[in-house]
Every structure is written in structure tokens, then in C-alpha cells.
Amino acid sequence: MRAAILKAFGSPLTLETVPDPVLGTGEVIVDVVATRVLAYANEVFSGARNYLMELPMIPGSGAVGRVRALGPDATHLSVGDWVYCDPTVRSRDDALMPEIILQGLVAGSQPALRLQRYFHDGSFAEQMRVPTENVVRIGALDEAEAAAWCALGTLLVPYGGFAAANLTPGETVVVNGATGAFGSAGVAVAMAMGAKLVVATGRNETALADLERRYGRRVRAVRMLGNEESDRGRILEAASGPIDCVLDLLPPAASPSQVRTAVMAVRPYGRVVLMGGVGMAGGAGLELPYPWLMRNCITVRGQWMYAREASTRMIGLVRAGLIDLADFQVTSFGLDAVNEAVTHAAANAGPFRFTVIKP
């Protein structure tokens, strides 16, 4: 099969013919039809993000494709099924504290490298080998629709955050950092999950206005100007009542102050979920007042990715029409143009648009 290979950080991906993946028990071979290119893939491949990954590697996290072959333990999958390949792979030998990798992207810890060495290669290839539990049926679709379904990779992240927060229909939420790809998806997901009101924060005035245009009165945008007290006051004013949940999705370039501004707008007994990248590039950590946390019974939770059942739930939201994949603008490249795709993804990042490769 053909595959794009990252041989060294800072080098372009090279297109080569490599052996087809070999099926093992507890695994599925999938023909990759479309795979999303992360907007920050260039930063990973250059080494700037210092991701834990052993090279050479076929990169690419998550894909939409069709089942080519499956192991003897599969009970529902069939050859030919359209599926989503969830890149969030967990170790199977400790249910309480599983190690996690993102297949084709990063190991979450040094011990997780053992898992990465086995499920090493990702989706920038004509085929990929995936753990059975990470292959999720999408249902019938036309091949032309496959690229749009790669939006699952963006939508699932905020869904994981709201699921961790036990978001209940009728609640008011803040999506902090709503003008990026994951943040804008967070607004769409909160709406689909039944939020009464979504306060969308960010610095990009045009993107904030677009969110209000798309979703109407259930979304209220707040432009962050950099002063904690006044920005928090405008968040509270926009909410017009208690804020039940804050989901932070700010990128590494943001400051802890931007996180704290939104976090401390949550009501007593409220919930906060941290899913962004603040601090990953170094610098100060997030400081929150101990008395405020304690006396107001605030729950603060970190969440990396999402639970195993999230992919099935998200597919259900799309099939129900609660999330419209037509909202996303998709630009497609062939595998021969993989480096151009990586460059395009970086230059065209933003709300409701992404880049895919079609091997």
C-alpha cells in the first residue's frame, strides 16, 4: 500500500510503498477513504510541539473508511461497513488507569510508548490497523460524504468535555475560546446537547459574530479584551443568570488569565472542564483561589479526549440532524499532495473548516 511517512522531525513527509498491515486478534483493517489533517500538524511534524512519538511513523489521527478485514472476536462489524476510526487508543491491562495514545500522533506518557510501538501507524495511508473497540459504525453513506464525516474528529473533543461535565439540557454554558476549530465545534455540540444558552468567548470579533448568525438567540458572544474583571463582568451580563458549566478550549498561546476569567464566572456548585492547551508551551500555570473553590463547592476537572462511547453518541447526534455536517467547509487533497495538505491546514485553520486527505 502507499503511505506518507514522517522519518524525522523537520523533514517533509515522504510517500512510499510499504507492506499492508497484518491483522491480529482484537484488530480491524480499514481502507482509509478520508482522514483529517490537524491545523497544527505542521507544528507536530516540525518538532515544535515536542510530541512524544517514535519515528519513522505513518502519521494521521482518525479516519473514515470501510472495513477490509476483522478479527474473530468482532461481533457486530462486517466487511464493507462504513466506520469512523477513533484515534483515542487505551491500554487494555488497567481499567482504572489506562495509558492513552492518539494513534498516528502522540503517546500521552512514557509508559504509553509501549502501546504506541504496537498501534504505531496512523491514517495517512491506504489502509490502517485499528483496535476493534476503536472502529465505530457510521451507517450507510455515499463515498462523497466521507470527507465531511471527518468533522467527527473535531466535534468529539468538546463533546467529551460536556459529557465529563454531565451537561443537562436547559443549562447555561460558557465555551471559552469559541473562535477556534474546537471551540466553535463546542458551541455546535452544546446546542445539540440541549444547552439553554451558550456564552461564546474569544478575541476574533468576526468569528464571534458568525456564531451568533449561525445559532441565533441561544448564543451570545463576548469579545475578550484582556482585563479579567471587566471581561468576566460581560460574560455574566451575557448569561443573564447562573452559569452552570464552563468548558475551556483555549490554545497553548493563550494565557492562564484568559482561562481564569471564564472559570470564575461559574455559579456556586458549578462545573469546570479544562481541555485546552494553556501551559503546554511553558509559562505559568493556572491559579485559582482556594477559598473560592472550597466555599462555592466548584468542581474542576481536566479531560483529555473523551470516553469510548462518545463516537457512537456523536454519530447519533449527526444522524438525528442535531449537528449538520454541511456547516463545515472541507478542502480535500490526494495522498500524493500530503505536504501541500499539511501546509493548507495550517494556513486555513478556523471555525467550521478543515482539510482532509483522501488516500
Superfamily of domain 2-151+328-358: Medium-chain alcohol dehydrogenases, catalytic domain (3.90.180.10)
- Show me where the domains of the chain are located: 2-151+328-358, 155-302
Which sign does the torsion angle of CA 224, 230, 232, 234 carry?
negative
Superfamily of domain 155-302: NAD(P)-binding Rossmann-like Domain (3.40.50.720)
Is the predicted pLDDT of residue 195 greater than 90, yes or no? yes
- Looking up cell 483555549 gives 250
For 298-324, the pLDDT digits (tens) are 999 999 999 999 999 999 999 999 999
For 81-118, the pLDDT digits (tens) are 999 999 999 999 999 999 999 999 999 899 999 999 99
Amino acid 280: pLDDT: 80
Grid coordinates belonging to 119: 498501534
Residue 339 CB coordination number (10 Å) = 16
pTM attached to this predicted model: 0.95
Give the mean pLDDT of the chain: 96
Grid coordinates belonging to 215: 445559532
Is residue 98 packed enough to be buried (19+ CB in 10 Å), middle (13-18) or exposed (0-12)?
middle
**Phi/psi class of residue 192: alpha, beta or left (left: φ > 0; alpha: ψ in -120 to 50)?**
alpha
Amino acid 136: pLDDT: 98
Percent of the chain with pLDDT over 90: 96
Span 234-241, average pLDDT: 98
67 pLDDT band, cuts 50/70/90, is: very high
Q: How far is residue 182 from each of residues 149, 154, 189, 252, 267, measured CA to CA in Å?
A: 15, 6, 10, 13, 24
Amino acid 285: pLDDT: 87
For 251-280, the pLDDT digits (tens) are 988 999 999 999 999 999 999 999 999 988
281 pLDDT band, cuts 50/70/90, is: confident
282 pLDDT band, cuts 50/70/90, is: confident
3-class SS of residue 144:
helix
283 pLDDT band, cuts 50/70/90, is: confident
Domain 155-302 in the same topology as domain 2-151+328-358? no
216 pLDDT band, cuts 50/70/90, is: very high
